[in-house]
Structure 1
Amino acid sequence: MDILSGFIVNEEVKAILFSMVMGLFAGIVIAAGYVLANKSKKYSKNFVITVLLLPVIMAIIIPFIATDLKKTLSLAGVFALVRFRSIPGDSKDILYTFFAAAAGLIMGLGSYFIGFVLVFVVSAIFILLSCLWKVSEKQVLKITIPEDMNYKDIFNGIFDKYLVKYSVKNVKTSNMGTLFTISYWVQPEKDCDTKAFIDELRTRNGNLNIILENPDDQLVPVL
């Protein structure tokens, strides 16, 4: 009988199930907002699933720990453990994770109206800002050269062939001063053949390291 009593659907269980459903709706809206805001660039499908289900999980957990300080502290410890074991993401995704958790927490406490106001307002602002701002087309090119090489104009011919524009970002020494690494801000041509571009650079820098990478969310206003 004691075991079966755990399956009785009383008012408390109904409230938790309703919070879970509201958390699912909130997660769907949050995930949809994230996809709409990032439709013009690549995004992680795993992250979309995370922000969709996180409000549901929070909405289920909160009613069980809301009145117990020890359980609340235990949950905080679990979140801290997960955070330190995770790979750091960019600040936007970290903020969005916190947003999804906050929405689930509010749903779990039964404040559904406030929760959906938060979800719709923040999602709308996020989509609006993503439409007004776009990711810069600039990339970072890092070329390693020997210390005795004059790098000032040696790559200009290749840059003019493959790039729309370029500028030196910084120069630093490496390998006990025997090598230089020059970092450039570059904007490749629309149909730039990246392999051919790097192959030509390798013929100039002695086949040392060359890295072409995207900067971390360099945002610029749409003009």
Structure 2
Amino acid sequence: MGDILNFQDIIKKSIVNLEAFRTVSYIDVVYGLGASFLIGMFIYWIYRKTYRGVVYSYNYNVSFVLMTMITALIIMTISTNIVLSLGMVGALSIVRFRSAVKDPLDIVYMFWAVSAGIASGAKLYPIAILGSALIGLTLVFLSRKKLKEQPFLLIIRHDERAQQGVKEKLRRMDYRLKSKTVRNEFTELTVEIRLRDDNTAFVNELNDLEGVQDVALVNYTGDYAQ
């Protein structure tokens, strides 16, 4: 039977294998980074295509491309030596990200970029390409399905003269009362409605009522207004 290697022997052998960097395959590096770049650009395109917020962040979207390439580079580096793997894990464990992520879907894109980078760095190109294609198609499908009916917040500020007219207008719509603020001069109503198209003529009709001071229609995601 051959000698059984313990953990210390594995570490020593791994240190000796640092010489493997002299024979690194530059073609594999180019393929890995090239594949991660193309997949990152695909993620970039899908994010821009399916973005439904108000303020689009170009820098945030570009970070997905760089995240995919950097992850692939890390995987290609640590796969050559166990010592580098342990050192990289220790180095990355002290990194702290404090940027607030408002949309939970943005976290999905982050995991997608990291996963595609890992697969590209490990030379699992079919998994990276096919998996990214299926994820992208799923996101496009779900985003288009969402567009069929979107929730909005309708904010109406009026006085006593418009109270009856506003009630009659709201009866024609499927709405849910979110808040009602009553003051000496006016009443402010916030209701949730759902629209299937871009027909917002009712906003002008409400605004034309006598006693209505202003009307606002805001896209609503369920957690915060955009």
Q: TM-score range by the shorter chain?
A: 0.5 to 0.7
1:54 paired residue number: 67
Q: List alignment gaps of at least 5 residues for structure 2.
A: 1-20
Q: Aligned equivalents of 2:180 and 2:222: distance in 1?
A: 23
1:70 paired residue number: 87
1:214 paired residue number: 219
Q: Which has the larger Rg?
A: 2
Q: Aligned equivalents of 1:212 and 1:74: distance in 2?
A: 48
Structure 2 counterpart SS, 1:33: helix
Which amino acid in structure 2 is aligned with residue 171 of structure 1? S
Shift of 1:215: 0.9
Contact 1:34 1:127 in 2 (8 A): no
1:183 paired residue number: 190
Which amino acid in structure 2 is aligned with residue 97 of structure 1? M
Q: Aligned equivalents of 1:31 and 1:61: distance in 2?
A: 21
Aligned with residue 136 of structure 1, among 124, 131, 149: 149
Structure 1 residue 108 corresponds to structure 2 residue 115: no
1:156 paired residue number: 167
Q: Which moved more, 1:86-95 or 1:19-28?
A: 86-95
Shift of 1:103: 0.5
Q: Aligned equivalents of 1:17 and 1:105: distance in 2?
A: 15
Q: TM-score, normalization: structure 1? A: 0.63
Q: Aligned equivalents of 2:66 and 2:182: distance in 1?
A: 45
Q: Note closer, same or farther for the CA distance 1:26–1:203 as it changes in structure 2 (3 Å cut).
A: same
Q: List alignment gaps of at least 5 residues for structure 1.
A: 1-7, 219-223
Within 5 Å, give how 1:13-24 maps onto structure 2: 13-24=26-37
Which amino acid in structure 1 is aligned with residue 42 of structure 2? V
Q: TM-score, normalization: structure 2? A: 0.62
**RMSD over aligned Cα, in angstroms?**
4.2
Contact 1:57 1:104 in 2 (8 A): yes
Within 5 Å, give how 1:11-50 maps onto structure 2: 11-38=24-51, 44-46=56-58, 47-50=60-63
Structure 1 counterpart SS, 2:176: strand
Contact 1:166 1:184 in 2 (8 A): no
Which amino acid in structure 2 is aligned with residue 55 of structure 1? T
Contact 2:151 2:221 in 1 (8 A): no
Structure 2 counterpart SS, 1:93: helix
Structure 1 counterpart SS, 2:173: strand
Q: Which moved more, 1:182-191 or 1:24-33?
A: 182-191
Q: Aligned equivalents of 1:23 and 1:103: distance in 2?
A: 7
Contact 2:36 2:120 in 1 (8 A): yes
Contact 2:175 2:194 in 1 (8 A): no
1:221 paired residue number: none
Structure 2 counterpart SS, 1:213: strand
Q: Aligned equivalents of 1:127 and 1:144: distance in 2?
A: 37
Q: Aligned equivalents of 2:88 and 2:210: distance in 1?
A: 59
Q: Note closer, same or farther for the CA distance 1:171–1:29 as it changes in structure 2 (3 Å cut).
A: closer
Which amino acid in structure 2 is aligned with residue 213 of structure 1? V
Cα-to-partner distance string for 1:156-192 (whole Å, 9 max, x where unaligned): 36x56xx9735233336799xxx98642014687354
